[in-house]
Amino acid sequence: MTGSHPPSLRDAGVVETGVEAGIATVRFGHPKSNSMPGTLLRRLAEAVAHAGIDPRARVIVLQSEGTGAFCAGASFDELKALENQAGGAAFFSGFAQVILAMVRAPKFVITRIQGKTAGGGVGLVAASDYAIAVRSAEVRLSELPLGLGPFVVGPVIEHKIGPGSFAALAVEAGWRSAEWAERHGLYAELVDSTQALDERVRTLAAQLAGYSPEAMRRLKEVLWERTLHWPELLAARAEISGHLAVTDASRAAVGR
């Protein structure tokens, strides 16, 4: 892992990577509940893509910093600062790039969820090949009350849990339990503590690192074979989000 970062970089968020025993670990963090500004999203997409082609790695573990929220979604500060539709579309495209990097990586992505997840963070969980969470890790699609919608993350969430469950999560926009998320396929496993979470992630990652890379790559291609049109789809969805983010309704909802 990389070392400590000066305050200016910490404020913008950090992405750290490392490879050990065939396991590439990609860790992101932001002081505001692991929310994601555009610069962090770009660095995270690059880190996942690089891990996907790193010959030392056979499996990727995605995790966030701290013991609180896994990811609070889009940076609220950056959302408030958007000035025009083009800037909004560029910002929301950051989530598209991370999702595409995760589903296109020719290696399984295991995601470690230690706390609540909202908005775009739910998209990252859905883009995982296997997500393991603690029982307190509730999920929420929080966009609708802000005059927005889960447009960019919608395809990957719907792919993972189905259109009915996605609609329920998006329309009601409240917190759903980790048990709900597991029951509908967003989480693959639930554990009782962060210690158990670390042990299970470590065990599964080590197990997968010993499997045939080609077999895992082929299986991943099958799991995501209906997503080949996503670059165009997610770009179009980012345009929708970019437009809505600068409407009067959204500006009022986020306090601009």
CATH number of 21's domain? 3.90.226.10
pLDDT at 11: 66
Q: Tokens in use for 126?
A: 């859905």
In a domain, 200, yes or no: no
In a domain, 122, yes or no: yes
In a domain, 202, yes or no: no
* Tens-place pLDDT, residues 87-102: 999 999 999 999 999 9
Total domains present in the chain: 1
| pTM passes above 0.85 | yes
In a domain, 139, yes or no: yes
Grouping H, G, I as helix, E, B as strand and the rest as coil, residue 211 is coil
In a domain, 241, yes or no: yes
Distance CA 79, CA 246 (A): 9
In a domain, 201, yes or no: no
Across the strands, what pairs with 88? none
In a domain, 165, yes or no: yes
* Tens-place pLDDT, residues 167-191: 999 999 999 999 999 999 999 999 9
In a domain, 175, yes or no: yes
Burial state string for 30-69 with b = 16 or more CB within 10 A and e = fewer than 16: beebbbbbbebbebbbebbbebbeeeebbbbbbbbbeeeb
